Amino acid sequence: MSSLAHKQICVIVSGGIAAYKVPDLVRRLRDEGAAVRVVMTTAATGFVRPLTFQAVSGAPVHVDLLDPAAEAAMGHIELARWAELVIVAPASADFLARLAHGLANDLASTLCLATAAPLLVAPAMNRLMWANPATRHNMNLLAQRGVRCCGPNEGSQACGETGAGRMAEPAEILAAAIGAQAVGALSGLRVLLTAGPTQEPIDPVRFITNRSSGKMGYAVAAAAREAGAAVTLVSGPTCLPPPAGCCCVAVTSAADMFAAVLDHVAQCDIFIASAAVADYTVSVPAAQKMKKEGVALTLTLSPTQDIIRAVAARPGAPFTVGFAAETERLAEYARGKLQAKSLNMIAANLVGLPGTGFESDDNELSVFWSGGEKQLGKASKHILARALVALIAERYRAEAPHPG
């Protein structure tokens, strides 16, 4: 039986073009056995008619703060008491700002303030609005209060721009809603995670790097935070906004990342090394920009420090999870790395294939540990991240020493 069976879920629809996807979310919630009631802001009714939501939810739709059809004209209190989970989708920048600062000037915002139910928001807005420091501050405030966040995703937007700000797909929001009903699998634990590429300087204007976008690592960080962990993310250079509620440490080179990890590793229970760290760095970077001389150039490279090996070798090492990006013989190479570096678990994927891996929104993971493995299949990186975090939590508790 689904964890949403017989759950009472209030879906709040704020103004935004992504509102057209929300009837599908309501349908999926009902397919899981949930009872759904929909609240719309006035702006939302300009994108989707209330009658649509009434048809898919099987219940009247609420828009007005003082709804004469509601019990004693106190609809916000009635709904706030009824709801066992509140989902805001899409959650516009305006609605998130009002929610973060406790405003209550319509039915939707007042309901959020009056309910004791968990809140799950699915942001949707222009990429610059999502990246704006005011929005980042508001999201951090909400995360500190325990509000869960699903998305946003990257991609083309209705405004014609491309970037982070697309509302998560209904399937992703459904998965987050299911997760919100369970006690956080990582509650009380501290997770240290690396993500993104590193940049190894050649001279002041050039560097060696790789194709990692950081998307998978950032998704894992967000999933770990959703699962209740205190998350510290050590990130190489990316264009991604910091995951809400995570402590973020920005680094550039492999040496920077090594130092940052050592600064934080003693305080963590789980270490997840998803960063694509350079294996080699330029031995002596040029102090000034190197000029093109028209002849072959030779660079002397030195191996970088192996971060995950160093962490796994520490006395009382945390539960250590590695990543392996391979182009062939996936299981063989992943299991070899698992054993050679004394890891507890490794997540591996094939890169160089269309539609998955580096720079893509989707991935396909195979996870290995001593005596076991699990195929997580192909899905969006956000969905895979939640599945991976659930598996990490399961293996962490299976391998944790038991008193007596």
Residue ranges and CATH numbers for the domains of the chain are 8-180 (3.40.50.1950), 190-399 (3.40.50.10300)
Please pick, among 10, 112, 149, 159, the residue that the annotation labels catalytic: 159
Q: At what angle do helices 93-100 and 107-114 cross, to 10 degrees?
A: 40
Q: What is the pLDDT of residue 141?
A: 83
Q: What is the pLDDT of residue 65?
A: 75
Q: What does the mean pLDDT of the chain come to?
A: 89
| Span 223-267, pLDDT tens digits | 898 888 889 999 999 998 888 778 889 999 999 999 999 999 998
Q: What is the pLDDT of residue 2?
A: 63
159 counts as catalytic: yes
| Span 270-289, pLDDT tens digits | 999 999 999 999 999 999 99
Q: What is the pLDDT of residue 403?
A: 44
Q: How far is CA 204 from the centre of its chain?
A: 33
Which residue type does 131 have? A
CB of 245 closer than 8 Å to CB of 220: no
Separation between Cα atoms, residue 367 and residue 363, nearest integer Å: 13
Separation between Cα atoms, residue 331 and residue 349, nearest integer Å: 9
Residues of the chain scoring pLDDT < 70: 1-2, 66-76, 179-183, 352-359, 401-404
Q: What is the pLDDT of residue 360?
A: 75
Q: What is the pLDDT of residue 404?
A: 36
Q: What is the pLDDT of residue 221?
A: 93
Q: What is the pLDDT of residue 31?
A: 92
Give the pair of three-digit tokens for residue 327.
């182009």
